[in-house]
A and B are shown apart, each in its own frame.
Chain A
């Protein structure tokens, strides 16, 4: 059972575009939703995270939108740059993250110059 579904699988945008990556979850006990960025050959790096008591969180060019009733959340990357080309994973956890993370399958983003 895939508890966190992520789409699209891959995404190509031009420099300056706003890629949007979507995730949906099933377990209503999840209460912590981080996004990770992973470059080839590297471990995932935490980008930004949100809890369901807010509908949006911004950190720099990265924004998470959260819809609790729909059990969906998304990552927006403003003014995307070629250096943002990487694989992005959404994840979810219970107990404010003090449980293990359940990851989506990832989205491979390519930002063309």
Chain B
């Protein structure tokens, strides 16, 4: 399978704990995006990387959230001191800047976070 992969698929944690999610984009894709989706809503942008550089962060990304893409390949999203309001599906998407007239983003299956 050469699509976007995310790990874990499900995470249950207690309020106050730290959690980390991983995203592996489609091979050779330059851009990697993180979105958050709550029940009954569309995905909302959190942050994105071009190669290893984090180019934009949403106001939704509080200082408890941090994302990295150290070698321009996989990315991690960490949430510190989780709160019940962090419960959501965290989606990763990737896209290529090469040879395309416009930017198609391909999504992974998501990580479902439940904060008790």
Contacts and interface: CB of A to CB of B under 8 A. Distances in A.
A82 interface: no
Interface of B: 4, 6, 33, 35, 40-45, 48, 56, 58, 91, 93, 95, 97, 101-110, 112
Interface string A3-32: 010100000000000000000000000001
Interface of A: 4, 6, 32, 34, 36, 41-46, 49, 51, 89, 91, 93, 95-98, 100-106
A93 B35 CA distance: 14
A96 B41 CA distance: 24
Given A32-B102, A102-B45, 12 more contacts: A34-B104, A42-B110, A43-B91, A51-B102, A89-B43, A96-B103, A100-B48, A101-B35, A103-B43, A104-B42, A105-B42, A106-B41
Nearest to A6: B42
Contacts of A46: 104-107
Contacts of A44: 43, 91, 107
